[in-house]
Amino acid sequence: MFCDGLADYNMTGQNIEKKKGTTMIIPPFLREILNHLTEGAYILDQSRTILFWNPAAEKITGFQAEEVVGKSCKDNILRHIDDKGRNLCEDGCPMLCILSGERFIEADVFLHHKKGYRLPVHVKGILFPSTLFPTLNHPTENVAIELFFPLWQEFFIPTEALIRLALNDPLTETLNRRGLESLFYSRLQEMLAFKKHIGLLFLDVDNFKQINDHYGHSMGDKVLFNTASTLKHTLRPFDLLCRWGGEEFVVVVFLDTLAHLPKIAERYRSLIASQFIEEGDLCITVTASIGATSVSPPESLESAIQRADHLMYQAKQRGKNQVVCDITEEG
């Protein structure tokens, strides 16, 4: 297992990593480059075992190098999924194409952060010649490097102004009711100028009381934080996210066409259902019921939220973990 600063150097100045009986030689210049990238970077062998994990990957994912080096990327680490919730580690992993001989590939996927939420990232896979990475046991196997960086990563950091005006929720670091009401109408005028439509989602975490009762309020807080994080990391900078109260969230999205709203709501439902929190032997998962509607000015925000709330309750009555939308994909 690699530990930065403790690796040995051979007579030619090449950096040596040892893992489970295999000696992997990584050129020092490449290690130096990867360690100074702002993008996350890791190296995989033919079996998708992680051989190297740079500091940016630690920062982006929450996983330290010693937790992942020597393991497969599918072993409850990144667990990439696509926007339909498909587990790419089992079906459709971009890196499989690289390790099968394709020289370059890139895609947008959702990784699993160590804290449990889903984070959208852009990944690039690069096939490197095996001569750069002499593996004594298997000298002909392919070696790949994946580079990745988060999308929309800086847009939901609370500012001092928001804190001072008490517009944000301290637990989830999203807007509170006052924050949503304060920002919505100014944002609305901007979006109407660009001829955008307004979609509204009312989301309620399913069976939240049982989570609190069974696992404690600390776990309940983590569920709320992760759900909010999954949402806010997948929203665009001009959309709005609010913790409406308890386990309820309101999302305002601005769209070119309202026909996109059902797919957006379904994507959020799927992403929440795919997140998980691991503590010891426990693996906690949650689902959410979502009501989706549009806001048609001069209708008030409050009126649209009430309608979305009623749609959410319909989703609960239909069995939970569902979306009920009064907009069709045909518009």
Amino acid at 57: A
pLDDT above 90 for 198: yes
Q: What is the DSSP string of 128-192?
A: E-GGGS-BSS-TT--EEEEEEEESSTTTTPPPHHHHHTT-EETTTTEE-HHHHHHHHHHHHHHHH
Per-residue pLDDT tens over the stretch 133-150: 654 355 556 778 889 988
Say what the pLDDT of residue 129 is: 67
Which residues pair with residue 291 across a beta bridge?
Answer: 202, 324
Instruction: Tell me if 242 sits within 8 A of 175, measured CB to CB.
Output: yes
| Whole-angstrom distance, CA of residue 100 vs CA of residue 47 | 11
Q: Is residue 72 a contact partner of residue 19, using CB atoms and an 8 Å limit?
A: no
Q: How many CA atoms lie within 13 A of 266 on its CB side?
A: 13
User: Per-residue confidence at 194, pLDDT binned at 50, 70, 90?
Assistant: confident
Separation between Cα atoms, residue 180 and residue 183, nearest integer Å: 5
Phi, psi of 77 (to 5 degrees): -105, -90
Question: Whole-model pTM?
Answer: 0.71
Query: What are residue 317's phi and psi, to 5 degrees?
Result: -65, -25
In the chain, the domains with their CATH numbers are 15-150 (3.30.450.20), 160-325 (3.30.70.270)
- In tens, the pLDDT along 210-256 reads 999 999 999 999 999 999 999 999 898 889 999 999 999 999 999 99
Two structure tokens written together for 257: 């066409």
**Predicted pLDDT at 20:** 42
In DSSP terms, 282 is beta-bridged to 279
For residue 89, CA distances in Å to 109, 111, 119, 284 come to 11, 11, 16, 20
| Helices and strands: H and E segment counts in the chain | 10, 16
More confident residue, 316 or 3: 316
